[in-house]
């Protein structure tokens, strides 16, 4: 199963749970449930902070909790009549950034279906407008999600390029310190003990070796 399908199923079940919770007797404790979910989320994030929170598993966890909190707040304050209904827009955008961009489509469709099913019959167009406004934001969420992925890939490539440059610099310093420096010592020693043609020959040989090694290094670094 692809990650997109798996994440879509998890979020559909999360949205379904949020709307089914309204029909249960427990919903009279909606504020307490919201506070409990937030406290558990805060504690888990604190204990899991030492792990790699950029992992897809942690982002899925964030998405599920975020969805539960947002929908619980909206449904407890009037659902489609809630003054906080606009939080659905933030939810769609946030999920497209946390997970895959395609998630914005499945999330929007699921929200529209459940909001329509939760409404009484013979609703006016005015009350349906907030629900039908959700699909119009989906293309923007999809676009931002795709741009976010592109930027993430560019940052990864930039980081990789920086590592390559740093490695090349390290190799350059190693070359200068171990090879060129050794030949310079030989030349210095020959100059200090200069007696005639023998030392001059040593200087010429070391100079020639240095030139050869520098040319070889320049060709290999291109």
Please report, for residues 161, 179, 212, 222, the alpha-carbon distance to residue 218 in angstroms, rounded to integers and kept in the order given: 19, 14, 10, 7
Q: Which residue has the higher pLDDT, 97 or 126?
A: 97
Which among 29, 24, 127 is positioned nearest to 78, based on CA atoms? 127
Report yes or no: 31 and 76 within 8 Å, Cβ to Cβ: yes
How far apart are the C-alpha atoms of 139 and 70, rounded to whole Å?
A: 21
How is residue 62 written in tokens?
């964030």
Residue-by-residue DSSP string for 109-169 = HHHHHHHHHHSPSS--HHHHHHHHTHHHHHHHHHHHHHHHHHHHHHHHHHHHHHHHHHHHH
Question: Tell me: the pLDDT tens digits for 23-60?
Answer: 777 767 777 777 888 888 787 777 766 554 457 778 88
Domain parsing of the chain, residue ranges = 3-132, 157-221
pLDDT at 197: 63
pLDDT at 58: 80
Q: Which of 3-17, 55-69, 89-103, 200-214 has the lowest mean pLDDT?
A: 200-214
pLDDT at 110: 92
**Does position 182 have pLDDT exceeding 70, yes or no?**
no
Cβ neighbours, 10 Å, residue 185 = 11
**Does position 123 have pLDDT exceeding 80, yes or no?**
no
**Does position 209 have pLDDT exceeding 80, yes or no?**
no
205: helix, strand or coil: helix
Which among 185, 184, 190 is positioned nearest to 210, based on CA atoms? 184
**13: confidence class by pLDDT, cuts 50, 70, 90:** very high
Please name the residues in contact with 45: beta carbons below 8 A apart, sequence gap of 6 or more: 53
**Does position 221 have pLDDT exceeding 60, yes or no?**
no
90: helix, strand or coil: helix
Mean of pLDDT over the chain: 78
pLDDT at 33: 78
pLDDT at 41: 79
Q: Which residue has the higher pLDDT, 195 or 87?
A: 87
**144: confidence class by pLDDT, cuts 50, 70, 90:** confident
Longest dimension (CA), the chain: 111
How far apart are the C-alpha atoms of 30 and 32, rounded to whole Å?
A: 5
Q: Which residue has the higher pLDDT, 18 or 122?
A: 18
**108: confidence class by pLDDT, cuts 50, 70, 90:** very high
The pTM for the full model equals 0.67
Percent above pLDDT 90 for the chain:
8
pLDDT at 120: 77
Residues in the chain: 222
pLDDT at 111: 92
Report yes or no: 189 and 177 within 8 Å, Cβ to Cβ: no
Q: Which residue has the higher pLDDT, 109 or 165?
A: 109
Report yes or no: 39 and 75 within 8 Å, Cβ to Cβ: no
How is residue 91 written in tokens?
């939810």
pLDDT at 82: 83
């Amino acid at each position: 199963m692809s990650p997109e399908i798996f994440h879509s199923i998890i979020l559909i079940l999360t949205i379904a749970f949020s709307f089914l919770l309204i029909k249960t007797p427990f919903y009279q404790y909606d504020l307490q449930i919201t506070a409990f979910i937030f406290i558990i989320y805060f504690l888990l994030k604190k204990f899991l902070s030492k792990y790699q929170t950029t992992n897809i598993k942690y982002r899925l966890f964030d998405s599920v909790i975020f969805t539960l909190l947002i929908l619980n707040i909206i449904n407890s304050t009037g659902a489609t009549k809630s003054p906080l209904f606009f939080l659905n827009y933030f939810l769609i955008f946030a999920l497209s950034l946390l997970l895959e961009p395609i998630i914005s489509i499945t999330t929007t469709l699921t929200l529209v279906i459940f909001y329509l099913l939760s409404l009484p019959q013979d609703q006016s167009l005015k009350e349906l407008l907030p629900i039908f406004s959700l699909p119009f934001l989906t293309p923007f969420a999809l676009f931002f999600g795709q741009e976010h992925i592109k930027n993430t890939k560019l940052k990864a490539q930039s980081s990789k390029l920086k590592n390559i440059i740093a490695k090349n610099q390290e190799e350059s310093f190693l070359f200068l310190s171990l090879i060129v420096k050794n030949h310079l010592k030989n030349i210095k020693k020959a100059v200090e003990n200069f007696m005639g043609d023998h030392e001059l020959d040593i200087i010429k040989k070391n100079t020639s070796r240095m030139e050869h090694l520098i040319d070889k290094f320049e060709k290999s670094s291109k």
